[in-house]
Chain A
Amino acid sequence: MATVTLRGIGKRYPASAARGSRDAPPAVRDVNLDVADGEFFVLLGPSGCGKSTTLRMIAGLESITEGELAIGGRRMNEVPARDRDIAMVFQSYALYPHMSVYDNMAFGLRRRNMAKAEIDRRVEDAAGILGLGPYLSRRPHALSGGQRQRVAVGRAIVRDPEVFLFDEPLSNLDAALRASTRQELTRLHRRLGTTMIYVTHDQVEAMTMAGRICIMDHGRVAQVGAPLEVYHRPATTFVAGFLGSPPMNLLPAQVADGALVLGDARLSLPFAARPGPVTLGIRPEDITIAGEAALRGEVVAVEPLGAETILALRLPGIDRDVLVRGGRNATARLGDRLGLHADPGALHLFDAASGQRLEPGSGME
């Protein structure tokens, strides 16, 4: 087990590799992270945000162009991948197609000149944990997607590494298998207690598995924190909009005369803020339908999902629909006019220009 520390890590590809653009922005810039010993740490973000590049730099598969990487307190920038004592599970699983499951798992151990008896023991132990015992002599093409994924995890486990790296390992599985494998990986982490860094674009994976989440945007760290902390106190409009399904409503508003002006309505401010334009964030589940309310809107879309119904309402003076999480028995129909209530404590304010979260004190008069 080991800590992983990133200090000012950046990645810039040569101009020729940047698809003809001489001024291509760096893929990753100024990433500072401290992953604790035994932590399950998730790098989350949309495609192209730099999360996989960051993981590959930790693995030693990409060179680091700026900053310093340390694993277990030891600088790793120039250390080749094989000497970093890490194991990686790839999105494509990267199983050697010409080898059996056993050979796939033993391949890395043979390179270390490990005794055959020890290799057998480790492979059988890992196969036992992952339920792969009956499949050890099979080739990868004779396995299902879920079994292949487990072989990839098994190949990582047998190495008994300091750090596990996962690069979107569940994205090739169907929804049902993804949910069960998620739980298996969480159990595995509890059992092994090893540091795990996990890359995903799936917020459900991040929220359910992570000890802490790092949300990345355009190569930068947007926010790091525990899942619920990040969900309930997003640092930027990007994080607020990225986490949550349906996402947080982000609405243009004004602070004026000690109140929050949203379209034609005036709301109570959650805290004293400097007058001027702001972005108001409200989670759909923090809005309740009320008979009489300052906010009133017309239902323009109804999405019944069984467990709940998502309503989209058009508010006067606002050019964006407001999403509301209705109960499973919501009876609203298209064209209905509903009153909406949001508790001031559930309102989030962001700077309209920078998108940064405004806190009591940070934007006070």
Chain B
Amino acid sequence: MTSRVLFRAAAMLLITIWTAFAAGPLFWVGVISLRSTSEFMNSPYALPEAWRFDKYVTAWTSSGYDVYFVNSLIVVLSAVAIVTVVGAMAAHCLARYRFPGNRAVYFLIFSTIVLPPQITIIALFQTLANIGLYDTRIGLILVYAAVQLPLTVYILESFFARIPADLFDAARIDGYSEWATFWKVAFPVAMPAIATVVILNTILLWNEFLYAVVLIVDDAKRTLPLGIQKFMGDQLEDYGMIATGLMIAIIPVVLIYAFFSEKLIQGMTAGAVK
């Protein structure tokens, strides 16, 4: 009994330390977002002398964060929608149909996951410039969709492969085409895994910086991570506004995680235990 109590106490202590370690930087950025840069420079770790919530209003209205936020929203939601639909179709096809080269296609798609973005970025830049999609939101959306496709197919393929073939046979006998069966049976049944990839891709793309900084130059098309960079100059860095911008960028991700983390875990672990 005593050893169990001690074990639980040690576990709680460890979790508390880990939480503080993980959440500490977030808390610190949150505090800085409510302080001015000069205040921060004088004392980086102090609490605010006055809680400057007006900085959020300033960032949103005067520093273009409203535009960046909307850009991020358009780019990320579009890319996630495309990658979810295309990825689900590819995964369904690879999981369900036998055709020559099935595994070769699967491993070809999946193998691109090992390529770091630095390798492909120049070629992407050149390709988008050639087809007139450089410095456009559509270009960035397509790149994001392509970049997230391997991970999406990987997660969904293993889920689709576990859907019993009898369901598809039943739909065939019920008179549905392959296309209708995908939308009316496979897609809804795979919803736990679909939710997982939607959440995962939204978080990853919301924070994406490298492709955006290379492929977007127009200030009116910048996404949130690029907007934050605007406050980082060669001589002067406006830490206060950077922190405010970071919080504006982080809050949606934290909310998504807070509300949907259970679905994320369900999808990732589906089938792991009976």
Residues of A within 8 A of B (CB): 17, 56, 59-61, 80-82, 86-88, 90-94, 96-98, 107-108, 111-112, 155
Chain B interface extent, by class: 10 to 19
| B219 interface contact, C-beta 8 A | no
> How far is A97 from B164 in the complex, measured between Cα atoms in Å?
11
Question: B191 and A98: CB pair below 8 A?
Answer: yes
Q: Which residues of A contact B164 (CB under 8 A)?
A: 92, 94
CB A57 to nearest CB in B, in angstroms, measures 13
* CB-CB under 8 A for A98 and B188, given A81-B173, A112-B175: yes
CB A213 to nearest CB in B, in angstroms, measures 25
Question: B170 and A82: CB pair below 8 A?
Answer: no
Question: B169 and A94: CB pair below 8 A?
Answer: yes
CB B96 to nearest CB in A, in angstroms, measures 14
Question: A88 and B191: CB pair below 8 A?
Answer: no
* CB-CB under 8 A for A90 and B169, given A96-B189, A97-B189, A98-B191: yes
Contacts A82-B176, A87-B173, A90-B170 supplied; 9 other A-B pairs, CB < 8 Å: A61-B173, A82-B174, A82-B175, A94-B167, A96-B171, A96-B189, A98-B188, A108-B174, A112-B175
Q: Which residues of B contact A92 (CB under 8 A)?
A: 164, 166
Question: B189 and A111: CB pair below 8 A?
Answer: no
Q: Which residues of B contact A56 (CB under 8 A)?
A: 169
Question: B98 and A17: CB pair below 8 A?
Answer: yes
| B162 interface contact, C-beta 8 A | no
CB A246 to nearest CB in B, in angstroms, measures 34
The one of A60, A87, A94 in contact with B166, judged by C-beta atoms closer than 8 angstroms, is A94
B interface SS class: helix
| B185 interface contact, C-beta 8 A | yes
Q: What are 17 pairs between A and B in contact, CB < 8 Å?
A: A59-B169, A61-B169, A61-B172, A61-B173, A82-B173, A88-B169, A88-B173, A90-B166, A91-B166, A92-B164, A92-B166, A94-B169, A94-B170, A96-B170, A107-B174, A111-B180, A155-B170
CB B238 to nearest CB in A, in angstroms, measures 50
With both beta carbons as reference points, the residue of chain B lying nearest to A88 in the complex is identified as: B173
Interface centre among B175, B180, B188 (most CB of A within 10 A): B175
Q: Which residues of B contact A91 (CB under 8 A)?
A: 166
CB B140 to nearest CB in A, in angstroms, measures 34
Question: A82 and B188: CB pair below 8 A?
Answer: no
With both beta carbons as reference points, the residue of chain A lying nearest to B174 in the complex is identified as: A108
> How far is A293 from B98 in the complex, measured between Cα atoms in Å?
63
CB B270 to nearest CB in A, in angstroms, measures 13
CB B165 to nearest CB in A, in angstroms, measures 9
Interface centre among A81, A91, A94 (most CB of B within 10 A): A94
| Top 4 A-B pairs, shortest CB-CB distance | A108-B174, A94-B166, A82-B175, A94-B170
Question: B170 and A88: CB pair below 8 A?
Answer: yes
Q: Which residues of B contact A61 (CB under 8 A)?
A: 169, 172-173
> How far is A109 from B191 in the complex, measured between Cα atoms in Å?
24
CB A196 to nearest CB in B, in angstroms, measures 15
CB A166 to nearest CB in B, in angstroms, measures 13
Q: Which residues of B contact A107 (CB under 8 A)?
A: 171, 174, 184
* CB-CB under 8 A for A82 and B172, given A97-B189, A98-B191: yes
Q: Which residues of B contact A155 (CB under 8 A)?
A: 170
Question: A108 and B175: CB pair below 8 A?
Answer: yes
The one of B98, B175, B188 in contact with A111, judged by C-beta atoms closer than 8 angstroms, is B175
> How far is A141 from B172 in the complex, measured between Cα atoms in Å?
22
CB B87 to nearest CB in A, in angstroms, measures 20
Q: Which residues of B contact A98 (CB under 8 A)?
A: 188-189, 191
With both beta carbons as reference points, the residue of chain B lying nearest to A61 in the complex is identified as: B169
Residues in B171-223 with C-beta less than 8 Å from chain A: 171-176, 180, 184-185, 188-189, 191
> How far is A277 from B166 in the complex, measured between Cα atoms in Å?
48
CB B39 to nearest CB in A, in angstroms, measures 54
The one of A17, A60, A111 in contact with B174, judged by C-beta atoms closer than 8 angstroms, is A111
Question: B185 and A86: CB pair below 8 A?
Answer: no
Q: Which residues of A contact B185 (CB under 8 A)?
A: 96
The one of B98, B167, B172, B189 in contact with A81, judged by C-beta atoms closer than 8 angstroms, is B172
CB A256 to nearest CB in B, in angstroms, measures 55
With both beta carbons as reference points, the residue of chain A lying nearest to B188 in the complex is identified as: A98
With both beta carbons as reference points, the residue of chain A lying nearest to B180 in the complex is identified as: A111
Interface centre among B166, B173, B191 (most CB of A within 10 A): B173
Interface centre among B98, B167, B169, B185 (most CB of A within 10 A): B169
CB A19 to nearest CB in B, in angstroms, measures 13
